[in-house]
Copies of this chain bind each other. A is one copy, B any other.
């Protein structure tokens, strides 16, 4: 009972079975043009019988659009990416578009491969949420100039014909640090990047700005990368946070508060603090970033900065569709969402 790899049923097969021209079947399928009730019934009968699936390739080739959007993520494993893609999907699904996700695993080269792969399949537009790179941005500029709509999310890509959606992480980082300062902390650590190579990280810049503004010195020893993985661009891990915190705890004069690059790093740091037998926040206060679901369920619950992630995805999708569906050139849009400090007990213990 071995099945030879069957050919797909084509629209022409249906036409033959129903005794009509292919074009008529096409009209029935798309509900366009005139078809008599009688003919329609014949075609529908044939369709039901033969289990036909339209060939999207051929259709897209002819129509010059695929009704599919590509989303490029740097890393599929983090809550930010997940939430973002949900937002994107919501909007696309409602408007009848499909979403294909490509993951670049944080490599600029894979980024290019993902762009190419999606473009070769002629997606109607691209949403890019990977870390910026010279290589990637150059290619993106080419893509935009070749006429494919592109929207960047939280990625430093500015182009007169592409939209940008992001959150104000400079401000978010500033407020997190400011919060700790206002609680009286003077030695405030940062976990997740190193001082020398972390300036691309907006929330880190915000931290530096807050310190500067309050006349606090920026001490290199208080900025803990968290080991070898620190320079990797992805979402910081709890491992990174754990290692970073251990570095800080090993100082002659450890910080009294730390700001972690994201919640996962903060979780790792919290565990390091507890293992060292110290209390949160009495001995060391801690702030995370992102407000992932887990953040409100740790003990103590984590003070963190919430960014409207799903909204960013939704808006990006809407901006993209606007470009896709507009005939004439569209004015550039850059939207920066505000972040919100969520104060919990990891800084103002009960």
Q: A184 within 8 Å of B by Cβ?
A: no
Q: What is the CB-to-nearest-CB distance from A2 to chain B, in angstroms, rounded to a whole number?
A: 4
Contact A237 B293 (CB under 8 A): yes
Contact B98 A101 (CB under 8 A): no
A99-B102, A238-B297 given; A55·B122 CB < 8 A? yes
A57 touches which of B98, B122, B328 (Cβ 8 Å): B122
- Comparing A82-90, A170-178, A194-202, the segment that makes contact with chain B is A82-90
A297 touches which of B79, B117, B122, B268 (Cβ 8 Å): B268
Closest residue of chain B to A9 (Cβ to Cβ) is B146
Contact A98 B117 (CB under 8 A): yes
A60 touches which of B57, B59, B294, B328 (Cβ 8 Å): B57
Contact A102 B100 (CB under 8 A): yes
* Complex CA distance for A163 and B311, rounded to whole angstroms: 39
Contact B293 A271 (CB under 8 A): no
Q: A166 within 8 Å of B by Cβ?
A: no
Interface size class of A (residues with CB under 8 A): 35 or more
Interfacial residues of chain A within 134-181, with CB under 8 A of chain B in the complex: 142, 145-147, 161
Q: A33 within 8 Å of B by Cβ?
A: no
Question: Interface 1/0s, chain A 45-64, versus B by CB < 8 A?
Answer: 00000010111111111000
Q: A132 within 8 Å of B by Cβ?
A: no
Q: A239 within 8 Å of B by Cβ?
A: yes
User: Which B residues are CB-close (under 8 A) to A322?
Assistant: none
A274 touches which of B99, B268, B299, B328 (Cβ 8 Å): B299
Contact B264 A122 (CB under 8 A): no
A76 touches which of B55, B68, B82 (Cβ 8 Å): B82
Interfacial residues of chain A within 234-269, with CB under 8 A of chain B in the complex: 237-239, 242, 264, 267-268
Contact B3 A145 (CB under 8 A): yes
* Complex CA distance for A2 and B145, rounded to whole angstroms: 11
A101-B103, A271-B298, A297-B268 given; A61·B51 CB < 8 A? no
A100 touches which of B57, B101, B268 (Cβ 8 Å): B101
Some 8 contacts from A to B, beta carbons below 8 A apart, are: A8-B146, A51-B146, A57-B121, A89-B105, A100-B100, A100-B101, A238-B294, A239-B293
- Residue numbers of A with Cβ under 8 A of B are 2-3, 5-6, 8, 51, 53-61, 66, 68, 75-77, 79, 81-83, 85-86, 89, 98-103, 105, 116-117, 119-122, 142, 145-147, 161, 237-239, 242, 264, 267-268, 271, 274-275, 293-294, 297-299, 327-329
